[in-house]
Structure 1
Amino acid sequence: MNLGVMRAPPLRWVLWDVKDTLLKVRLSVGDQYCREAEQVGLSLNPVKVNSAFRQVYKSYSNRYPNYGIAQGLNGHMWWTAVVRDTFDLCGVQDTALLQTVSHNLYHNFCNAENWEVFDDSKTVLEVCASLGLKLGVVSNFDKRLETILKSCDLLSHFSFLITSEDASVAKPSPRIFEQALQKCGASAAEIAHVGDHYVKDYLASRSVGIHGFLLDRDNKYEQSDVVPKEHRLSSLEELPLRLQQHLNRG
């Protein structure tokens, strides 16, 4: 009996990275931190604050990866410490002021005015849904993500969110994608993932059999880095046609 050529199953789900894929921080960290500091009477240099933040963020990311979950911390504690140490490096040592600024920054970053949704994001999410695809999020982010997506009018597009804080594991670990597979109730071959990071999004999703799409808005990668080359996107507007090619299989 000739069974013919086995075809790959069509896509059922598209998983999404969020930061720098669907939206980005509107201003530099230095500018946003300085604006918050002004509210309590502090006048600081955004360039200096930005430099201090990069130093502190790198240190905490190395010492306490994924918000220090494994060391008994959480996103709120982690970010509060990062903000405190950033301002401390800039010479602010008033404990009460540091507590106020770190509290306000953590909560105010949930507001839409601190985020810029890319022009192609909402339209492409709507088109994906119109193709009959279900959408989910897999993001290295803290528990504020749901509130942020809601404030940016994006939350309703997704059937589920998985953040690295809630999952207790971060990309590029395949374990966070394995949790997503369970949420989808589908095989990896029926799922695509879209993100802007070559290792954490593209390679990591492919490592579990998911169709990885690399969003390369700034043309940082060579076409040869992505196989097949059609899975490298210069904008999200290119995605629906690429997905339709998968949908037409079967």
Structure 2
Amino acid sequence: MILLDAVGTIIFPSPSVASAYQAAGRLAGINLDETTIRHRFREAIRRYSVQSFQTERGQSEPARTNETTERLRWQAIVQHVLSPPADRFEEVFDCLWNHFGQPENWQPFDDVSPALAILQSAGFQLGIASNFDSRLRPIVERYLGSFDLQLFISSEVGWVKPAPAFYQTVQSQVGIPVDQLFLIGDDLENDVVAPKREGWQAAYLSRKQEASAARPSGEFASLLEFAKAISQA
């Protein structure tokens, strides 16, 4: 079975995150340039990772998550990036929460459908293993509904990557030996190092890398390159 990460691997936000936050901020009279928003967003993502956020809240199992935790965490991120007035916060937050739950505000990379078609034809079971919440389901259905994909979303699994329990729970649910599970994604720790520690196979997707460049074994510049390689192995 081959599982794929979601954001940065099979889908990307369109318009960009910075553009969406800029538009939402204007609802509350906040006028920030996209460069500032990108900088603050990167800070917020580091500061409010699920594990950091849960630790800050005094949770004994910081890698635990659910739909409520995800919403609260994203509220903290929006506050960090935009700092809207208290009386406008809910309006701004709901605008962004709903925006990123709409399939039309995401796009699949051009190579996703061709790659999945190759892998499916080669006999692989397919799935998605993502740190996301239930908003991911309609997005996947819109763009990849023609494929038989099992979705393993952190808010539903109950754990986030790279916690060992995330991969262990997925393996338990699919009932496939760990050495027959393969994860590919664009986060080196979450999608390569951590699953390998659990006995999975894994590959790193580096879309910024040129396909012809010399790269370490197990690193690919596109999903299509990966699909062709593994289906011929």
Q: Could you say which TM-score interval applies, normalised by the shorter chain?
A: 0.7 to 0.9
The 3-state SS of whatever aligns with 1:64 is: helix
Alignment pair present for 1:86 and 2:52: no
Instruction: Output the CA distance in 2 between the equivalents of 1:140 and 1:184.
Output: 18
Within 5 Å, give how 1:97-176 maps onto structure 2: 97-151=88-142, 153-176=143-166
**Which one is further off, 32-41 or 138-147?**
32-41
Instruction: Output the CA distance in 1 between the equivalents of 2:140 and 2:56.
Output: 20
Alignment pair present for 1:232 and 2:219: yes
Q: Residues 109 and 43 of structure 1: is their aligned pair in 2 closer, same or farther, counting only changes over 3 Å?
A: same
How far 1:41 moved relative to its partner?
A: 5.3
**Which one is further off, 37-46 or 142-151?**
37-46
Which residue in 2 is equivalent to 1:223? 215
The 3-state SS of whatever aligns with 2:79 is: helix
The 3-state SS of whatever aligns with 2:48 is: helix
Q: Residues 67 and 192 of structure 1: is their aligned pair in 2 closer, same or farther, counting only changes over 3 Å?
A: farther
How far 1:60 moved relative to its partner?
A: 1.9
Q: Which amino acid aligns with 2:215?
A: Q
Which residue in 2 is equivalent to 1:15? 3
Instruction: Output the CA distance in 1 between the equivalents of 2:120 and 2:56.
Output: 32
Residue pair 2:119, 2:231 contacting (<8 A) in 1 also? no
How far 1:15 moved relative to its partner?
A: 0.8
- State the TM-score, normalizing by the size of structure 1: 0.78
Among 34, 50, 53, the alignment partner of 1:64 is: 53
Instruction: Output the CA distance in 2 between the equivalents of 1:53 and 1:215.
Output: 23
Q: Which amino acid aligns with 1:77?
A: L
The 3-state SS of whatever aligns with 1:214 is: strand
How far 1:42 moved relative to its partner?
A: 4.5
Any idea what the Cα deviations from partners look like across 1:1-47, whole Å, max 9, x if unmatched?
Answer: xxxxxxxxxxxx11111111111122442211112233555443222
How far 1:169 moved relative to its partner?
A: 1.8
Instruction: Output the CA distance in 2 between the equivalents of 1:132 and 1:222.
Output: 29
Which residue in 1 is equivalent to 2:19? 31
Residue pair 2:157, 2:170 contacting (<8 A) in 1 also? no
Instruction: Output the CA distance in 2 between the equivalents of 1:66 and 1:203.
Output: 23
Structure 1: tracts of 5 or more residues without a match: 1-12
Any idea what the Cα deviations from partners look like across 1:163-204, whole Å, max 9, x if unmatched?
Answer: 222223222222211112122221122222111122211122
Instruction: Output the CA distance in 2 between the equivalents of 1:196 and 1:59.
Output: 20
Over the matched positions of the two proteins, sequence identity in percent amounts to: 25
The 3-state SS of whatever aligns with 2:182 is: strand
How far 1:222 moved relative to its partner?
A: 7.1
Residue pair 2:129, 2:153 contacting (<8 A) in 1 also? yes
Structure 2: tracts of 5 or more residues without a match: none
Q: Residues 51 and 234 of structure 1: is their aligned pair in 2 closer, same or farther, counting only changes over 3 Å?
A: closer
Alignment pair present for 1:77 and 2:72: yes
Residue pair 1:17, 1:196 contacting (<8 A) in 2 also? yes
Within 5 Å, give how 1:195-214 maps onto structure 2: 195-214=185-204
**Of the two, which has the highest radius of gyration?**
1
**Which one is further off, 99-108 or 23-32?**
23-32
How far 1:143 moved relative to its partner?
A: 2.5
